[in-house]
Chain A
């Protein structure tokens, strides 16, 4: 027996979503960094060709190689975290911090190699300041921004105290003009510091606003989910409440039909039989409403999927569909594959899915028609196709048939007893099982429904 448990919202916490977003952003930064790796290596090889100092070329070479190595390691680490679905905010922040500091160090070397103040290359620390401000609390991101400033200005400071020999790469004398004038040097440094602080402040404000919006969206989303759950729960409650009285009416109808209340006139017997048939339809409909409500998440069962052999189940369901089509001489064939096929599912879900498809194929076939079931194996996948030669579905309607209560006018005309929920249930089950459904159909010539599953190894006895 399975006990019920209510699904808690979307099943994912907002922290998970934050982590996934942060992981995606870090992944994006890692990919972007490959561009800088290539650029560094290209510059390393091009600089010696234009007779620039060999030292600058070597700097770029080392920077390129160091960036490539750290980037490769970061990418591996990130992939491992994502694959294990264990990307925690703390781990991701550390990964981000290591990358940012690594970038600052690389930038510091590049800034020195390009002549410290001769180029505006130091300003390249801004993207990382912004990145840090988006993903770290304000004070931490400020510390990171100041650390970046310190690191990129370190070569200049070392040049001042004579621990590093200055590199002159472009115009001779240009560096002296800047360095010898406190006003120009001060303006240069002040503009750098102001830019960093301004970008940091802007990013912090944007982050705060984004977080507020996100919180609001999350609250609204949870409210919507609660309303949706309440609605589905009400429908389920109503459906359940209907089942007991309907069962009682059906029992009375059967009792009267079988003569337990005394003999009935022919007309009365016909009426009682019709009452029974209509009761059955209502009972089926309430069962379908409950089944769909459960599948759509109003009730979540901790289901465990097991490897199941498809052929025995399909053979059983084909026999059932054959019996259903016997009155109209509809035949149902199953073409077995060369080997047994196993998929990950529960028997109940597979049974409901394929029985719905097979009964649909039978119901919408013409008298004397044929229904074919075939399995095709390819690339660790199995596609089960259910083909009929019945009334078919119009091109514009194919996209609508999985919607709840939708029935094409031709379907209603051909078979009036459907409740329009069968294919919605099929769709919900296939989503749950990770299967794909494709429908191809032609009005008047029939329909093929293909369901594709990933196959699994046979069940171990």
Chain B
């Protein structure tokens, strides 16, 4: 089973994700901010990172965090699953999908829109943890 780091400011989302992941044997470490991201990741030694997009005070904190992770040699190999409830284009949000994932622009490994069905989350996590052929 895997060690999963969830970075999301919404306590309730973290709680429900934790219940599902821990219920399936994963070990969950939760953080509620992207501050000191690299130190947090290096300390937690996760196999997978689940990352929110919008954080208080910075609507793009998740994107910045993903780019920061992708730029660090020690952690850039880790799969990152991006989660967002505000995936709709407006003056307050953004529109993106897995098609937008790219090394330079959106360096994450997968994307899911909140709310996530438990079965869907588990399938996605399993696919991201599977070693590349």
Query: Which A residues contact B (CB, under 8 angstroms)?
Result: 1-4, 6, 233, 236-237, 240, 243-252, 254-255, 258, 260-261, 279, 283, 287, 290-291, 293-294, 298-299, 301
Contact = CB atoms under 8 A, between A and B. Distances in A.
Contacts of A236: 90-92
A245 B106 CA distance: 25
Interface stretch (B10-18, B73-81, B124-132): B10-18
Contact of B94 (A3, A248, A249, A287): A3
B85 A4 contact: no
A254 B54 CA distance: 23
Nearest to B118: A258
Contact of B115 (A3, A251, A294, A299): A251
Given A1-B100, A252-B16, A255-B16, A247 B85 contact: yes
Interface string B10-30: 101101110110010000000
B85 A244 contact: yes
B10 A283 contact: no
Nearest to B96: A1
B91 A233 contact: yes
Contacts of B93: 4, 240, 290
A279 B90 contact: no
A299 B23 contact: no
A298 B90 contact: yes
B118 A260 contact: yes
B39 interface: no
Contacts of A287: 88
Interface centre among A243, A293, A294 (most CB of B within 10 A): A243
Given A255-B20, A258-B118, A260-B23, A290 B12 contact: no
B114 interface: yes
A248 B10 contact: yes
Nearest to A280: B115
Contact of A250 (B91, B92, B105, B115): B115
A231 to B, nearest CB: 13
A4 B89 CA distance: 6
Interface in B20-66: 20, 23, 54
B13 A290 contact: no
B12 A251 contact: yes
Nearest to B10: A248
A74 to B, nearest CB: 46
Q: Which 7 pairs of residues, A with B, have the shortest CB-CB distance?
A: A250-B115, A248-B12, A247-B114, A251-B16, A1-B96, A247-B85, A247-B115
Nearest to A255: B16
Contact of B118 (A249, A254, A299): A254
B86 A243 contact: yes
A128 to B, nearest CB: 50
B94 A2 contact: yes
A249 B115 CA distance: 8
Contacts of B86: 240, 243-244
B21 to A, nearest CB: 10
Given A254-B115, A287-B88, A244 B95 contact: no
Contacts of B20: 255, 258, 260
A348 to B, nearest CB: 9
Given A4-B89, A251-B12, A279 B115 contact: yes
A148 B74 CA distance: 84
A12 to B, nearest CB: 21
A28 to B, nearest CB: 42
B91 A4 contact: yes
A246 B13 CA distance: 10
Contact of A254 (B12, B96, B117): B117
A251 B89 contact: no
Contact of B105 (A1, A244, A249, A254): A1
A292 to B, nearest CB: 11
B116 interface: yes
B92 A255 contact: no
Contacts of B23: 260
Contacts of A245: 12
A255 B19 CA distance: 7
Interface centre among B10, B88, B106, B116 (most CB of A within 10 A): B88
Interface in B98-124: 100, 105-106, 114-119
A287 B92 CA distance: 13
B89 A2 contact: yes
27 contacts: A1-B95, A2-B89, A2-B94, A2-B96, A4-B90, A236-B90, A236-B91, A240-B86, A240-B92, A243-B85, A244-B10, A244-B114, A246-B85, A247-B13, A247-B115, A248-B115, A251-B12, A251-B116, A252-B15, A255-B19, A261-B19, A283-B115, A287-B88, A290-B90, A293-B90, A294-B89, A301-B89
